[in-house]
Amino acid sequence: MPISTVPTLLNADAILTGLRALRERQPVKYWAFYSSQLGGIVTDPALMVIPFDDHMVHRGHGIFDTASIVNGRIYDLDAHLDRFIRSAERSNLVLPGSREQVRDIVIRTTALSGRRDGAIRYWLSSGPGSLELSPAAGAEPGFFVMIFAGLVYPDRWYTDGLKVMTTTLPIKPSLYAITKSTNYLPNVLMQMEAKQAGVDNGVFIDAAGHVGESSNMNVAFVTEDGVFRHPNFDHILSGCTSLRLLELAPQLVAQGLITGVEVCDIPVAEARAAREMMLIGSSIKVASIVEWDGEKIGDGRPGAIAKALLGLLEEDMRGGRERLIDVPYQ
């Protein structure tokens, strides 16, 4: 609604009408939403709301995580929940129930959505009650789960590869980078800066000149001598996808496709000389970067190792029994 509209006093019915009109103007693919504040699950996107005075909204005091639904199963939920709980502890936030209860709500919300493919994003907030900084007296933490279509990237990222730039924005200090909080301002600005510059995404570099990560993805390399090399996780988010690929990558050593697997500090100069560079994450999976700051990476075409890693990940997402949870759809 244009802000020039003369504001009038609204009753509850008018608010519902307004919320529905908002969603009609801008259709969304949200299938189900659980809110501990509402005490249940809603499927009408107009009702997927949280109070404006929840400190997650106005102070960014909240955390989140995202897992994938693949073919009617949830992939690697426990790794994502472990990270969620670590982020909660670092943010001085308390889960409103046990880990098992939270896990159960995620699974039940997925079941109720009926969706067999998509994404699950869940948040823990410090709760409503004031516009202060510290949680309000008596604030109850909020737990929310959204079942949505997931982030979708252009096909060309997989067929032709991506172009990235070194961001002009400073990397988050380590404590904030390793915590998946709702403070994504640097990440948002980096992505916007890249798009405005005509490339696909940005890369953070730390003060020591080591490669960090991208906006919502990790970055990894294949060195000239064939080593799959990933930045240390002490100054970037512990990507669940990267951690899993580091476990799976030795299969490529056995096949003679790579010569080793390393997690270490990666100076920018070394990184630029890589044979392959790639983005890794739950939403993008694995996609080659073919150009960085206007310079080709390797031969400027998507790399064989990125493709092989994507194959390993897709196999794991569909067949890796111990990491898949069958969703109890009705």
Ligand X SMILES: Cc1ncc(COP(=O)(O)O)c(C=O)c1O
What residues act catalytically?
180
Pick the closer one to ligand X by CB: 240 or 306.
240
Nearest-angstrom CA–CA distance, 127 and 115: 29
What type of residue sits at position 284? I
Nearest-angstrom CA–CA distance, 210 and 199: 21
181 binds ligand X (CB under 6 A): no
Pick the closer one to ligand X by CB: 112 or 220.
220
> Which of residues 91, 126, 181, 187 is near ligand X by CB under 6 A?
187
Nearest-angstrom CA–CA distance, 308 and 73: 23
Residue range at the interface with ligand X (CB under 6 A); choices 99-107, 233-241, 247-255, 311-319:
233-241
Residue range at the interface with ligand X (CB under 6 A); choices 5-13, 106-114, 143-151, 236-244:
236-244
Residue range at the interface with ligand X (CB under 6 A); choices 6-14, 51-59, 128-136, 237-245:
237-245
H or E segment to which residue 23 belongs? helix 12-25
281 binds ligand X (CB under 6 A): yes
218 binds ligand X (CB under 6 A): yes
Pick the closer one to ligand X by CB: 41 or 93.
93
237 binds ligand X (CB under 6 A): yes
What secondary structure letter does DSSP report for 129? S
The torsion of the CA quartet 293, 298, 303, 306, rounded to 10 degrees, works out to -60
Nearest-angstrom CA–CA distance, 64 and 69: 17
Radius of gyration of the chain (CA): 21
Pick the closer one to ligand X by CB: 67 or 305.
67
Q: Build a one-symbol-per-residue string for 46-85: x at contacts with ligand X by CB under 6 A, - elsewhere.
A: --------------------x-------------------
Least Å distance between CB 233 and ligand X?
Answer: 10
> Which of residues 191, 216, 223, 288 is near ligand X by CB under 6 A?
216
Pick the closer one to ligand X by CB: 112 or 249.
249
> Which of residues 126, 223, 282, 288 is near ligand X by CB under 6 A?
282
191 binds ligand X (CB under 6 A): no
> Which of residues 107, 119, 178, 217 is near ligand X by CB under 6 A?
217
Q: How many residues bind ligand X (CB under 6 A)?
A: 13
241 binds ligand X (CB under 6 A): yes
266 binds ligand X (CB under 6 A): no
Q: How far is CA 85 from the centre of its chain?
A: 15
In the structure encoding, which two tokens stand for residue 124, read together?
A: 């823990």
DSSP 147-209: EE------THHHHT-EEEEE-SSPPPPHHHHSS-BS--HHHHHHHHHHHHTTSSEEE-B-TTS
Nearest-angstrom CA–CA distance, 126 and 63: 9
Nearest-angstrom CA–CA distance, 44 and 40: 13
What type of residue sits at position 290? V
- Which residues are at the interface with ligand X (CB under 6 A)? 66, 187, 213, 216-218, 237, 239-242, 281-282
